[in-house]
A = this chain, B = another copy of it.
Amino acid sequence: MMQNPEILAALQERLDGLVGSPSGYMESLPKVVKRRVHALKNLQVKCAHIEAKFYEEVHELERKYAALYQPLFDKRSDIVKAVYEPTDEECEWKAAEEEELTEEMKEKAKVKEEKKDEEKEDPKGIPEFWLTVFKNVDLLSDMLQEHDEPILKHLQDIKVKFSDPGQPMSFSLDFHFEPNDFFSNTLLTKTYKMRSEPDETEPFSFDGPEIMGCTGCVIDWTKGKNVTLKTIKKKQKHKGRGTVRTVTKTVPNDSFFNFFTPPEGEERSTCPSGTLEDEDSEAVLAADFEIGHFIRERIVPRAVLYFTGEAIEDDDDDYDEEGEEADDEVRPN
């Protein structure tokens, strides 16, 4: 049957029409036409390079606007930190959603509010502003451990800094902390290197600037406060004698603060590509880039809306939570 030229032709006809078999379609074109399509593809490569320049100019524009936003973000920071007390005029707000509350809810809220007012007689600024933002965003709360929370209460601001004009494209996320018992840094920084140029071998995959890598920073943990490490006790049985002994090991611990020690550098250069460790760190990096991008694009520009919950979207990725190791004895290192 496969020798029948009519059936072969009919099959080929079907193949030609198939979306997702691009090479087959190209191959089926008359030679003179294929030649012209190649000319169009060369024009398309030129378009990709123009597009790269476009994104560089958008980056310039973002830098320009970052400077326009900054006074507003600084004022936000001053209000959060209780450096500045806004005037009555600045605090006037008519919001539909707050008026839609039923009388009953308002009554309850009032009771609650009075109770709170009694409890914390004079709260300074907006307590736990950034911690609340973190808790309200799935992408961030997934990284958050219980032991991170007392530390993030001291987070006072996150700033986005763009690379200077003429420098390779990059941005930094600066986490500003008030002095605290956990580490001596008041600034923790994560820098993302970006690239806005088509790949030589895959020019058509270019679709705007990409995050290419990132670097973290060293956290000077106070002794015994490093939540990114934990000591576990393991019972070992001697093979010959059958006696049992307990050994103590220091191992990595889940923590938001691992964000500042991304797997790049050591692991990536020592692991031969394609090994399991390499794939693992690739996945960690992909998640890390997504988080960095999200903090830059959404969290910093509209933090208050994540604080109140107004900006929370339903379409956040849902990750399955993995079971925790319940048997390990955990304490900060």
Which residues of A approach B to under 8 Å, CB–CB?
8-9, 12, 17, 19-33, 35-44, 46-47, 50-51, 53-54, 57-58, 61-62, 65, 68-69, 72, 75-76, 79-80, 85-86, 90-93, 95-98, 100-101, 105-106, 108-109, 112-113, 115-117, 120, 122-123, 125-127, 135-136, 138, 201, 204, 301-305, 307-312
Q: Within the complex, which residue of B27, B44, B96, B311 is in contact with A112, where a contact is CB–CB below 8 Å?
A: B27
| Interface contact B27-A106, CB-CB below 8 Å | yes
For A138, the closest partner residue in chain B by CB is B19
Q: Within the complex, which residue of B24, B33, B42, B85 is in contact with A123, where a contact is CB–CB below 8 Å?
A: B33
The winner among A53, A54, A120 for most chain B CB atoms within 10 A is: A54
Q: Within the complex, which residue of B17, B101, B311 is in contact with A27, where a contact is CB–CB below 8 Å?
A: B101
Closest chain-B Cβ to A328's Cβ sits at a distance in Å of 27
Q: Once the chains are docked, how many angstroms separate the CA of A86 from the CA of B42?
A: 11
Q: Within the complex, which residue of B41, B43, B304 is in contact with A37, where a contact is CB–CB below 8 Å?
A: B304
Contacts of A301 in B (CB 8 A): 47, 51
Contacts of A117 in B (CB 8 A): 30-32
| Interface contact B311-A98, CB-CB below 8 Å | no
| Interface contact B91-A19, CB-CB below 8 Å | no
Contacts of A50 in B (CB 8 A): 65, 68-69, 72
Query: Beyond A19-B136, A36-B85: 15 further Cβ-contacts under 8 Å?
Result: A8-B108, A9-B115, A27-B106, A27-B112, A28-B109, A28-B116, A35-B86, A36-B80, A37-B308, A40-B303, A40-B307, A43-B72, A44-B305, A47-B301, A204-B311
Contacts of A108 in B (CB 8 A): 8, 12
Closest chain-B Cβ to A187's Cβ sits at a distance in Å of 22
| Interface contact B42-A93, CB-CB below 8 Å | yes
| Interface contact A91-B39, CB-CB below 8 Å | yes
Contacts of A79 in B (CB 8 A): 36, 39-40
Q: Within the complex, which residue of B40, B58, B91, B96 is in contact with A36, where a contact is CB–CB below 8 Å?
A: B91
Q: Once the chains are docked, how many angstroms separate the CA of A44 from the CA of B307?
A: 12
| Interface contact B76-A109, CB-CB below 8 Å | no
| Interface contact B41-A304, CB-CB below 8 Å | yes
When A and B form their complex, which 6 residue pairs have the shortest distance between CB atoms, in order from nearest? A22-B309, A27-B109, A39-B86, A38-B93, A40-B304, A39-B90
| Interface contact A19-B93, CB-CB below 8 Å | no
Given A93-B42, A112-B12 in contact, is the A47-B27 Cβ separation under 8 Å?
no
Contacts of A17 in B (CB 8 A): 135
For A308, the closest partner residue in chain B by CB is B22
Q: Within the complex, which residue of B22, B42, B47, B127 is in contact with A90, where a contact is CB–CB below 8 Å?
A: B42
Given A61-B54, A91-B42 in contact, is the A27-B113 Cβ separation under 8 Å?
yes
- 14 interchain pairs, CB-CB under 8 A: A30-B113, A33-B123, A35-B91, A38-B91, A38-B92, A40-B80, A40-B126, A40-B304, A41-B93, A42-B91, A43-B72, A51-B301, A57-B61, A61-B61
| Interface contact A302-B127, CB-CB below 8 Å | no
Q: Once the chains are docked, how many angstroms separate the CA of A109 from the CA of B149?
A: 63
| Interface contact A21-B61, CB-CB below 8 Å | no
